[in-house]
Chain A
Amino acid sequence: MANFNLKINGKTQQLDVDPTTPMLWVLRDHLKLVGTKYGCGISQCGACTIHLGDNAVRSCQLPVSAVGNQEITTIEGLSENGDHRVQLAWLEEDVYQCGYCQAGQIMNASAFLKKNPNPTDEEIEGAMNGNICRCGTYTRIKKAIKTAANSKIA
């Protein structure tokens, strides 16, 4: 066990935890931030996507000991009132079916749009290919990403 001070969603969190623990389980088991989902545990499905600084990362492959001073953002911290333009676009397109993968999709899409504000369809597909939606909402996800890209909200 070891002590960590983590910056998560703008707050500092103190933890005493096995240093090999992936951030996925630190968030879910220790901090009760369960919006970040477990899907495969081997970075194949993208359900556990969070932001490390400005980058989308798979939290199932990120040991707590590797985080250091970097800021972590989870779906719960993406916006204060659920009004990030990507979240609003998801609501507008009524994207989800079961909804389980969507936090990961949204976290990946929001990091992607920050780097590429006006993506082509092919760029969207390339960026989102690591996020599985078992219900098959891919066409709606793509539409929502375009809606978000065209949104005037920052």
Chain B
Amino acid sequence: MTLIKTQYNRRSFIKVSAAAGGGMLIGFSWLNGCKPNTPEPEAGVAMPKEWFEINGYIKIGDTGMVTIYSPNPEIGQNVRTSMPMIVAEELDVPWENVVVEQAPLNTGWYQNQFAGGSLSIRLSWNALRMAGATGRRMLLEAAAKEWGVQLSDLTASNGVIKENVGERTVTYGEIASKAVGIEVPKEVELKGVKDFKLIGSSIKNVDGKKIVTGQPLFGLDFHRDGMQLAMIQHPPAFGMTIKDFNEAEIKSMPGVKDAFIVDTTLEEPGGFDEKGFKQLIAIVGESTWQLMQAKKALKANWETTGELESSEIHVKRLEKALMSGEVQESRRDGNPEAAFKKATKIIERTYSAPFIAHNTLEPMNFFANVTEDSAELIGPTQTPEALEGSVSKLLNLPLENVTVNMTRIGGGFGRRLYVHFGVEAAAISKKIGAPVKLIYSREDDMTQGTYRPTYRSVYKAGLDENNNLIAFTVKGAGLPEGPVFPNRFPAGAVENYSAEKIKAPTNVTTGAWRAPRSNFTAGAEQSFLDEVAEAAGKDPIDFRLELFDRAIKDPVGEKHEYEAERYAGVLKLVKEKADWGATKPNVHRGVAAYFCHSTYVAEVFDIVLNNGQPIVEKVWCAVDCGIVVNRDAAKNMIQGGVIDGIGHSMYSQLTFENGAPKQMNFDKYQLIRHSQAPKEIEVFFVENEIDPTGLGEPGLPPAIGALANALYKATGQRHYHQPFVTEKQVVG
């Protein structure tokens, strides 16, 4: 058991209560004003008549039903289940008694209410445990007071408090009313990892039933009576702005209420205000279809204000940057140039990847209701606090007058870290003086920008006469940010090493895309190491383990970002599980391992050839993410990462002509489909007691390397330039 100081006190509880206007937290209801926000329990206990707020995460009903507020945005990473699981574990309540509600943005109660960097669980692990443990302790204290016994005379488990000696019992529901009056403890005890009952098990998604029955859950599903719909049109190319449009004609079209140019320029934009176009044409009406017709009838004059870039320009710019670009970050150990002179074998390869779009299946949208002195925002955002700030700046409203509620989110992948669509909805609502839901068409969404940057990297390795890796260098350029992590593997494992991260300009807007930079670097580096291992005549896993051995026993340089033992650990685990080394007829294997978001993942791909066509038959994944919270859901994350990695490296790209992406919808922009996915993906976790680390992103990066390496074994062709489909490769 760990003793941990709480950060709660009654004063902050009261302060937050007052700010929220009476109730401690105003839960978000789908049918605002139509019916109270009552949870729908699947089973367990009866609906309570009275609820008691224990703290910002927990509300207990008189029947023993427990509402747990999930603080972070749910983008498919399953935090709406796993975060409440952690609270319920320490509260020690049966999961059947728990209902989950999405908390609104509340910076007074919660920290880190965002979905990014695979950080939700990692950053809130202690806060969630503490919330549960605090609640449990207060319930225990209330029972002790009631019965006139010592706290140490009582045990709380599964929602029931019992006397250690004696026969009295009381349920959480029965004592909750008394617990509210208990002073928040200054210290609480946390469970030992061995005592976990819920954490580490597999709990089904709390929204499962609603998803399979099509209940309104997503931002695009939100409706409020009296609300208008709006669509936007942005300039057709990066480097263009809007001059004017056929306003009168558009306004006269059926179903169109208003049309105007909206400007969402912020004087001091923040990091999540990145956006392609600050001025947009907005069209307002009551039916999406009529707005889509109005969009088709738009005749606008655009002005060219910047360079209209093309893919050819992008490639040239990256090549030039690799020769003479500005280095953003670098590392140097030993003397690589001298080592290359001594090397008996030198391997040098260039890798590249194109711009890609996030393409969340739910397009950008947001609801906004702006009045003279307030703004209410409801929708899919990964960064509600950034949205609150930007809307406050745009409308010149104090922060406390801006509220943000989060819907379930139809995919994030980094796209909804950027808040412009919420800001645009607020600007439109202000202009029309009515509540509005802004909807992007797929084409608006795909051509708006915020893309994964395009990258190009050159890797070079030198082997001595004994086939030892004596020099390793990487130079990587990106538009606009280079894809190099100078202190990641193989830094620390090679005597003579250098890494240079190089930037180059573009007016195409970019942003974080699932596992930023790692989503390219892992594939390039791990394919390259496969080629180096082959040149050295070594097994690719043994070759990597040798390098980790060096980093463990005699690390080169002052620091590196990874723990070599854990890195080697996932390789050893995948080696064992996949029975690496065993030869099976017509099975071609590739391996890769990568570390990002504090998590280690190794993957083995088995490819078979079916009439000459490569098929990913099976993928084996070994993962070290510390303590696994929700086991089957964690597997789902890794499986999704593998498929996402295959899909984007194999098929997806945005190409540019005259400043505009040529792909605007899924007819030209290829996403992976059922028949191209692996037939089976098996996931194994390293069992340890380390605090949980990231899961949303780390499954993706190694998939690209393992895929490329297995394809090489199957077809004899190495892959250097994504998407591999342009190198005449498909799978499935």
Interface, chain A (partner B; CB < 8 A): 18, 20-22, 25, 28-30, 32-42, 44-45, 47, 74-76, 78-79, 82, 87, 90-91, 94, 96-103, 106, 121, 124-126, 128-142
Evaluate contact between A139 and B679: CB separation under 8 angstroms.
yes
Q: Known contacts A98-B75, A99-B76, A100-B411; is A91 also within 8 Å of B636 by CB?
A: no
Whether the pair B287, A125 counts as a contact (CB closer than 8 A) is: no
Asked if B499 is at the interface of the complex by the 8 Å CB criterion, the answer is no
Closest to A79 in B: B213
In the complex, the answer to whether B640 meets A38 with C-beta atoms within 8 Å is: no
Among B159-167, B343-351, B665-673, the one that faces the other chain is B665-673
User: Apart from A76-B214, A106-B212, A129-B673, what 13 extra A-B contacts exist at CB < 8 Å?
Assistant: A35-B216, A87-B212, A91-B204, A91-B209, A94-B205, A100-B411, A101-B361, A132-B671, A136-B639, A136-B672, A136-B677, A137-B636, A137-B640
Contact in complex: B674, A21 (CB < 8 Å): no
Contact residues in A for B409 (Cβ distance below 8 Å): 98
Find residues 195-229 in chain B having any chain A CB closer than 8 Å to their own CB: 202, 204-205, 207-209, 211-218, 220-221, 223, 229
- On whether A28 and B674 interact (CB within 8 A), knowing A91-B212, A98-B411, the answer reads no
Q: Could you give 9 example pairs across A and B, Cβ below 8 Å?
A: A18-B290, A35-B213, A98-B361, A100-B360, A100-B411, A129-B674, A135-B644, A136-B639, A142-B674
Is B208 a contact partner of A25 (Cβ separation < 8 A)?
Answer: no
Question: CB < 8 Å: which of A37, A96, A136, A140 contacts B208?
Answer: A96
Once the chains bind, are B640 and A135 in contact (CB under 8 Å)?
Answer: yes
Residues of B within 8 A of A75 (CB): 212-214
Q: Complex: how many Å from CA A74 to CA B147?
A: 56
Complex contact A138–B287 (CB within 8 A): no
Question: Given the complex of chains A and B, what is the CA–CA distance between A98 and B411 in angstroms?
Answer: 5
B116 located at the interface, meaning its Cβ lies under 8 Å from any Cβ of chain A in the complex: no
| Contact mask for chain B residues 267-298; partner A; CB cutoff 8 A; 1 contact, 0 none | 00000000000000000001111101000000
- Assess the A132–B212 pair: CB atoms within 8 A: no
Alpha-carbon gap, A40 to B411, bound state (A): 14
Give the residues in chain A near B359, CB-CB below 8 Å: 134
Interface contact A97-B214, CB-CB below 8 Å:
no
Tally of A-B Cβ pairs under 8 angstroms: 184
Report Cα–Cα, A138/B673, bound state, in Å: 8
Q: Is B611 an interface residue (CB 8 A)?
A: no
A87 and B174 CA atoms in complex are apart in Å by 37
Chain A residues with CB under 8 Å of B229's CB are 29
Given contacts A100-B411, A136-B641, contact A42 B667 (CB under 8 A): yes
Q: A130 to B675: give the CA distance in the assembly, Å.
A: 10
Among A39, A74, A101, A126, the most chain B Cβ lie within 10 Å of the Cβ of A39
A29 touches B671 (CB 8 A): no
- Closest B residue to A63 by CB, please name it: B289
Tell me, yes or no, whether B362 is within 8 Å of chain A by CB: yes
Given the interface pairs A94-B632, A126-B675, the reply to whether A134 lies near B208 with Cβ below 8 Å is no
- B322 lies within 8 A of chain A by Cβ: no
Q: A133: which B residues are within 8 A, CB to CB?
A: 361
Give chain B residues whose Cβ lies under 8 Å from the Cβ of A126.
675
Closest 6 CB pairs of A and B: A35-B214, A136-B643, A98-B76, A100-B410, A75-B214, A97-B76
Contact with A along B440-481 (1 / 0, CB 8 A): 011000000000000000000000000000000000000000
Please name the residue on chain A nearest to B666 by beta carbon: A44
Contacts of B202 in A (CB 8 A): 94
* Chain A residue with Cβ nearest B443: A41
Complex Cα gap A33–B321 (Å): 52
- The answer to the question of B177 belonging to the interface, with a C-beta cut-off of 8 Å to chain A, is no
Chain A residues within an 8 Å CB radius of B75: 98
CB distance from B638 to the nearest CB of A (A): 10
Using CB atoms, name the residue of chain A closest to B255: A18
Distance, CA A140 to CA B643, complexed state (A): 12
B599 contacts the other chain (CB 8 A): no
Number of interface residues of B (CB under 8 A): 68
Q: Chain A contacts of B287 at CB under 8 A?
A: 18, 21, 25, 29-30
Q: Which residue of B lies closest to A125 (CB)?
A: B675
Q: Is the CB of A25 within 8 A of B642?
A: no
Complex formed: what's the CA distance from A121 to B680 in Å?
12
Q: For chain B residues 628-680, which have a beta carbon within 8 Å of chain A?
A: 632-633, 636-637, 639-644, 647, 665-667, 671-675, 677-680
Partner of A47, one of B223, B361, B644, B671: B361
**B363 on the A face (CB < 8 A):** yes
* Cβ-defined contact, A97 with B672, below 8 A: no
Chain A residues with CB below 8 A from B288, complex form: 25, 28-29, 38
List of B residues within 8 angstroms of A142 by Cβ: 674
B637 in contact with A102 (CB, 8 Å)? no
Contact B674–A128 (Cβ < 8 Å): yes
Known contacts A32-B223, A42-B666; is-contact A136 B642 (Cβ 8 Å): yes
Q: Are B215 and A99 in contact (CB under 8 A)?
A: no
- In the complex, are the beta carbons of B640 and A136 less than 8 A apart? yes
Q: Provide the bound-state CA to CA distance between A140 and B78, in Å.
A: 15
Candidate in B78, B213, B229 with the most chain A CB atoms within 10 angstroms? B213
Residues of A within 8 A of B207 (CB): 99
Quick check: is B484 within 8 A (CB to CB) of the other chain?
no
Q: Tell me if B681 counts as interface (CB < 8 A to partner A).
A: yes
- B408 on interface, CB distance cutoff 8 Å: yes
Chain B residues positioned under 8 Å from A100 (CB to CB): 218, 360-362, 410-411
Report the bound CA distance from A28 to B222 in whole Å.
Answer: 10
A124-B674 in contact (CB<8A): yes
Q: Does B77 contact A (CB under 8 A)?
A: yes
What is the CB-to-nearest-CB distance from A17 to chain B, in angstroms, rounded to a whole number? 8
Q: A18, A29, A30, A132: which contacts B361 (Cβ < 8 A)?
A: A132
Q: Is A18's CB under 8 angstroms from B76's CB?
A: no
Q: Which of B215, B633, B642, B679 contacts A94 (CB 8 A)?
A: B633
Contact B671 A99 (CB under 8 A): no
Task: Please give, as numbers and ranges, the residues of chain A lying within 8 Å of B363 by CB-CB distance.
Answer: 38-39
Minimal beta-carbon separation of A82 from chain B (angstroms) = 4
A102 in complex: contacting residue of B211, B360, B641, B677, CB < 8 Å = B211
Residues from chain A with a CB closer than 8 A to the CB of B36 are none
Cα of A110 to Cα of B442 in the assembled complex, Å: 26
